[in-house]
Chains A and B, each alone.
Chain A
Amino acid sequence: MHSLILEAILLMALIAITLVVIFDKDLLAAVVTYCAFSFITMFLYIVMGAPDVAFTEAVIGVISTIYFVISLRNIDRRCK
Chain B
Amino acid sequence: MAKKIKNAIPVVIIAIVLAAAFARFDFLPSIGDPDAPAHTRTSDYYIEHAVKDTNSPNYVTAVIVDYRAFDTMLETTVMFLAGLGVVILLASRPDPKARIIKPRKFTENREHLGAPAYQSINKDVMIKIIEPLILIYAVYVLFHGEVSLGGGFQAGALIGMVYIIDTMVSPGTISLIRLPKERSVALAGAGTFIYTLTGILTLVGGGVFLEYGKLPFSMSFEEKHSTGILMVEVGVTIGVMATIITILNAIHERARFDDDK
Contacts and interface: CB of A to CB of B under 8 A. Distances in A.
Any A–B CB pair closer than 8 Å: yes
A70 B161 contact: no
A70 B153 contact: no
A2 B161 contact: no
Nearest to B252: A70
Interface string B128-172: 000000000000000000000111011001101100100010000
A63 B255 contact: no
Contacts of A70: 248, 251-252, 255
A2 B99 CA distance: 50
Contacts of A23: none
B87 interface: no
B254 interface: yes
Given A66-B164, A67-B248, A56 B257 contact: no
A67 B149 contact: no
24 contacts: A2-B32, A51-B149, A52-B60, A52-B149, A52-B150, A52-B151, A52-B154, A55-B149, A55-B150, A56-B154, A56-B157, A59-B157, A59-B161, A60-B157, A63-B161, A63-B244, A66-B168, A67-B247, A70-B252, A70-B255, A71-B251, A73-B257, A74-B99, A74-B255
Interface of A: 2, 4, 51-52, 55-56, 59-60, 62-63, 66-67, 70-71, 73-74
> A-B pairs with the 3 shortest C-beta distances?
A73-B255, A59-B157, A52-B60
